[in-house]
Structure 1
Amino acid sequence: MEFQTIQLEISDRLATLTLNRPNAMNAMDLNMLKELAHCFESLQDNEEVQVLIVKGAGKAFSAGGDIKMMLQTENAISFEDIMDYITRISQAYYQLPMITISQIHGAAAGLGFSLAIASDIVVAEESSKLAMNFIGIGLIPDGGGHFFMKERVGVPKAKQIIWEGKMMNGKEALAVGLIDELAPEGSSQQVVSQLTDKLLASPISSMLETKSILHSQKLDELKVTLEKEAVSQLKMRNTNDHLEGIQAFVEKRSPKFIGK
């Protein structure tokens, strides 16, 4: 399958997937969601690749779900289809038989941040803008955001971060445990390259067995979380607060929420 919104390069035991909508800050539209689902599902059968790097083209990792797509779901695009693709992406990515690395520069927000922290190793530059900011438009995290946030920081801290929706830089995210490696400005590719070389020079087969054992114990929990996120997200999309959040975003003003 030829991709339009992502690029996949494979060389020996290393694969690099680039989110490739730079003019939209790699926001995930329906086409990108379809392509990511297909790509990750196809990689599950690849026994040669042992490390996968996920990064963004241009100035950002990913700004999250495409707001224009959200505005279109009342008509041309089915919300259920969108959530189905998001579920497929998260489940396939979590089960990949390779070590996954997020290489973050610029923004990684919303669904983009859910994908980033789903990786085995998260590398972010100091000036990165990281946010689980669904709350800003009256929604909840999806893409397994609840699960991956809880896995990294625990339930109490996960709730605080999700509810606040605060934009964090790399240092702040490292301090709370949301990322694993901090890279100086403009050096994320160099840091990830060094990390990849180290991994590929290690007994990586044993590392992948450990990943398989640990993830297999959590897979059912992730599936339940994704099911609950899909149901709850539909509920939130029908609230006044979500409509106000979207309208305020489009109009570039502060939203006025009423709790309904």
Structure 2
Amino acid sequence: MMYQTIKLVKEGRLARLYLNRPAAMNAMDDVMMKELADAFEALREDASVQVLILQGEGRAFSAGGDIKKMIDPESPMDIGKVMVDVSRLAKGLYSLPQVTIAAIHGAAAGLGFSMALGCDVIVAEEDSKLAMNFIGIGLVPDGAGHFFLKERIGVPQAKQLIWKGDVMTGSEAEAKGLVDQIVPSGQLEQAVSGLAAHLLASPIQAMLASKKILHTSKMNELADMLQMESEAQVAMRSTADHLEGIQAFIEKRKPSFTGK
């Protein structure tokens, strides 16, 4: 399958999926969200691949949702349609029959961070920047951000991280339990390739069977959370705080929120 915004490269039992909008720091527009969902659904049927590495081309893993595309007057993103693809993306990723590795360099923010958190293993450069920063533009996490955070760090810490929207280094994220392994800047490719080789030399069928057992038991909860995220995101898009957050982002100033 040919894609416009991502690249999928298969190397025997290993596959690499590259987010491929480097000029936009791999910010996700509606095309990328749909293509990611399509790619995950196709990989779900591919038993020949046992390890999948997700990584970003250029300077970042992903800067999150494409804010400029959200407000493009000529072709604005349809939030209802987008949320359908975002939900497909999250379900497809979580149900993959491969060990998934997120390889993070540069920024992993917003939806990009949600997707990374949905992977089985997260490897990040120590000086990378990670943020669940939807709150800065008056939105809620999507892409199952609530679900993946809760799974990794529990509800109390997930709320604090979502509400603050702080930017963390890879080292700070590891200390919070959000990253599994940190590596020095420039050593990410060597680290994730070594990890993939180790996994492929392990009894990986047993590992994948355990993943299926653990994840299948959570699918209904994931679907419920995605539905709630979609409904909340559509509602938040019409709030005054969201419009102020977007305007402040464009004008590069601190937003003035009013709770409306």
What SS does structure 2 have at the residue aligned with 1:62? coil
Match of 1:235 in 2: 235
1:36-185 aligned at under 5 Å gives the runs: 36-72=36-72, 76-185=76-185
Alpha-carbon distance, 1:31 to partner:
1.0
1:114 and 1:160, CA in 2 relative to 1: closer, same or farther beyond 3 A?
same
Letter in 2 for 1:23: A
Alpha-carbon distance, 1:72 to partner:
3.6
Alpha-carbon distance, 1:77 to partner:
3.2
Distance in structure 1 (CA, Å) of the matches to 2:89 and 2:16: 16
Letter in 1 for 2:7: Q
- Structural RMSD (CA): 1.1
1:128 and 1:76, CA in 2 relative to 1: closer, same or farther beyond 3 A?
closer
Distance in structure 1 (CA, Å) of the matches to 2:76 and 2:13: 40
Contact 1:174 1:182 in 2 (8 A): yes
Letter in 2 for 1:81: K
Contact 1:90 1:143 in 2 (8 A): yes
Letter in 1 for 2:193: S
Letter in 2 for 1:125: E
What SS does structure 2 have at the residue aligned with 1:53? strand
Alpha-carbon distance, 1:79 to partner:
1.1
Distance in structure 2 (CA, Å) of the matches to 1:105 and 1:142: 21
1:188 equivalent in alignment to 2:188:
yes
Contact 1:73 1:79 in 2 (8 A): no
Distance in structure 1 (CA, Å) of the matches to 2:117 and 2:111: 10
Distance in structure 2 (CA, Å) of the matches to 1:53 and 1:125: 15
List alignment gaps of at least 5 residues for structure 2.
Answer: none
1:202-221 aligned at under 5 Å gives the runs: 202-221=202-221
Distance in structure 1 (CA, Å) of the matches to 2:14 and 2:105: 20
Distance in structure 1 (CA, Å) of the matches to 2:58 and 2:234: 32
What SS does structure 2 have at the residue aligned with 1:147? helix
Letter in 1 for 2:247: Q
Count the aligned residue pairs: 260
Contact 1:6 1:17 in 2 (8 A): yes
Alpha-carbon distance, 1:69 to partner:
2.1
Distance in structure 2 (CA, Å) of the matches to 1:64 and 1:115: 9
1:73 and 1:87, CA in 2 relative to 1: closer, same or farther beyond 3 A?
farther
List alignment gaps of at least 5 residues for structure 1.
Answer: none
Distance in structure 1 (CA, Å) of the matches to 2:69 and 2:45: 31
Alpha-carbon distance, 1:138 to partner:
0.4
Letter in 2 for 1:209: A
Match of 1:28 in 2: 28
Contact 1:56 1:104 in 2 (8 A): yes
Distance in structure 1 (CA, Å) of the matches to 2:167 and 2:190: 25
TM-score normalised to the size of structure 2? 0.98
Contact 2:174 2:181 in 1 (8 A): yes
Letter in 2 for 1:68: K
